């Protein structure tokens, strides 16, 4: 009965992701932009809430503005299964990074509801509001709130337009989104792979073994503004030239590091920049990742050491602020086994791979055991309007999620 009910569910999940790329669900008509707490964000939440209700769920928002749909179990007081992903996006994003996991979770619950089936435990579908960190200078605020790991100081942030998070919601209530320990027994997230491994293997889905450790910094350089035509080269304290040298140093350190270290300068800002002015100030972000926290830390330390050397040589002021430090997050072995079994049962070859990108699952690991299912994305493209997921692959992912839920139910009954 459940398999029949999901015959078009995966394809519908893809269609719904596509529908949410256009205004009013996007801040731009040219590529998806949906930042946390924007009008487009709330419009998307309202539409997703309709789909949750159609799937048999009751719907609410928590204190961090996460959208939550609840499908009751036979025992409403039992620890629950949480399934979800995020609905915010980077600027000029693709349709599926985050929303596909939410849509597939809704389809899975909808299939159970259509079949008249309830598990012994409740299931909640959560659409996290801030995973990307594209509006405020800290990522995963909303999953950190749910996991109970959020430092209240992290809420003292402003966006590029100088709008404070506290101007948009009650930050004093924000930590109350935390789930009590023991209230959630597992978290499952389906997500596009954001890499080419599954495509290279000819596979629709894969089981994630863990998520790489991340370190992110905000860096500010202070030089001296001056006229581009009258200030001799040897007298300049050019903040942009210093930044350019630091960007190349970042690339060099990452390339020379052993293992899987990657480092990225992702945001560059030159306040009051003009074509005929030597920049007196600039700022940029630094992101360093590796599957090993030790390798990540060594690379980050070396990059910052080179930054200080460059700043000293150029007589520039240097300020570095650590934005977040996320440890490597292995997925739960028992849950990986269940995903492998569900993939095999769906007629596909089980395959395991690591995630170099961060996900809400790495935060949720502080609350409960976690599992992740990757879905093939054409060309490994993400954070780009060219993202593409084949509806056939989404159907496979939905069957795997339902098989995973069934296996959790069998374990629960045997316990």
What gap in Å lies between CA 128 and CA 31, rounded to an integer?
21
Residue 293 assigned as binding residue = no
Q: Are 25 and 40 in contact (CB under 8 A)?
A: yes
Q: Does 132 carry a binding-site annotation?
A: yes
What is Dmax (Cα atoms) for the chain? 80
CA dist 277 → 240, 280, 315, 318, 399 (Å): 11, 9, 18, 20, 59
**Cβ 41 vs Cβ 49: under 8 Å:** no
Residue of 5, 130, 126, 11 whose CA lies nearest to 57: 126
Find the DSSP H helices in 115-226.
Answer: 141-147, 197-201
Computed on alpha carbons and rounded to an integer, the radius of gyration of the chain in Å comes to 23
DSSP 254-305: HHHSSSS-EEE---EE-TT--TTEE-SEEEEEEEEEESSHHHHHHHHHHHHH
Q: Is residue 325 a contact partner of residue 215, using CB atoms and an 8 Å limit?
A: yes
Count of CB atoms situated within 10 Å of the CB of 354: 17
**Residue 359 counted as an annotated binding residue:** no
Q: Any binding-site annotation on 276? A: yes
Question: In 10 A of CB 182, how many CB atoms?
Answer: 9
Q: How far apart are CA 96 and CA 130, in angstroms?
A: 15
d(CA 290, CA 295): 6
Half-sphere exposure of 299 (CA within 13 A, CB side): 31
Q: Confirm or deny that 412 is annotated as ligand binding.
A: no
Is 144 annotated to bind a ligand? Reply is: no
Confirm or deny that 97 is annotated as ligand binding: yes
Report H helices in 20-153.
39-54, 99-114, 141-147
Cβ neighbours around 134 below 10 Å, total: 20
Dihedral sign for Cα atoms in the order 329, 332, 337, 342: negative
What DSSP character marks residue 78? S
Does the annotation place 86 within a ligand binding site? yes
Query: 186 phi and psi, to 5 degrees?
Result: -165, 150
Task: Please count the other Cβ atoms lying within 10 Å of the Cβ belonging to residue 305.
Answer: 12
Binding positions are 86, 97, 132, 191, 216, 276, 289, 383
Binding positions for Zn(2+) are 86, 97, 132, 191, 383
Binding positions for allantoate are 216, 276, 289
């Amino acid at each position: 009965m459940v398999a029949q009910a999901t015959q078009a569910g995966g394809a519908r999940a893809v269609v719904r992701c596509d529908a949410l790329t256009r205004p009013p669900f996007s801040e731009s008509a040219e590529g998806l932009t949906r930042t946390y707490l924007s009008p487009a964000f709330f419009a998307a939440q309202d539409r997703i809430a309709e789909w949750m209700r159609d799937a048999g769920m009751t719907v609410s928002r928590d204190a961090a503005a996460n959208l939550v749909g609840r499908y009751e179990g036979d025992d409403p007081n039992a620890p629950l299964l949480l399934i979800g992903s995020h609905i915010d996006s980077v600027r000029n994003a693709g349709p599926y990074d985050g929303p596909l996991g939410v849509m597939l979770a809704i389809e899975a619950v909808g299939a159970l509801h259509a079949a008249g089936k309830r598990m012994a435990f409740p299931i909640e579908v959560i659409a996290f509001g801030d995973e990307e960190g594209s509006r405020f200078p800290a990522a995963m605020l909303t999953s950190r709130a749910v996991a109970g790991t959020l430092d209240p100081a992290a809420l003292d942030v402003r966006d590029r337009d100088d709008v404070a998070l506290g101007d948009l919601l009650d930050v004093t209530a924000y930590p109350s989104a935390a789930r009590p320990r023991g209230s959630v027994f597992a978290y499952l997230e389906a997500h596009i792979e954001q890499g080419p491994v599954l495509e290279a293997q000819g596979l629709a889905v894969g089981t994630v073994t863990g998520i790489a450790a991340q370190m992110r910094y905000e860096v500010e350089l202070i030089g001296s503004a001056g006229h581009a035509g009258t200030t001799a080269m040897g007298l300049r304290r050019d903040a942009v030239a210093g930044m350019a040298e630091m960007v190349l140093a970042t690339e060099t350190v990452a390339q020379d590091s052993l293992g899987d270290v990657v480092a990225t300068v992702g945001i560059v800002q030159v306040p009051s920049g003009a074509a005929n002015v030597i920049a007196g100030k600039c700022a940029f972000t630094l992101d360093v990742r590796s599957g090993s926290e030790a390798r990540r830390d060594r690379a980050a330390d070396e990059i910052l050491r080179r930054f200080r050397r460059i700043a000293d040589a150029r007589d520039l002021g240097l300020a570095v602020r650590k934005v977040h430090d996320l440890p490597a997050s292995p997925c739960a072995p028992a849950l990986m086994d269940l995903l492998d079994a569900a993939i095999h049962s769906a007629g596909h070859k089980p395959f395991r791979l690591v995630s170099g990108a961060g996900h809400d699952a790495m935060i949720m690991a502080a609350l409960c055991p976690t599992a992740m299912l990757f879905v093939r994305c054409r060309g490994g493209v993400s954070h780009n309007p060219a993202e593409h997921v084949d509806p056939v692959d989404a159907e496979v992912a939905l069957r795997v999620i339902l098989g995973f839920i069934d296996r959790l139910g069998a374990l629960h009954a045997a316990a």
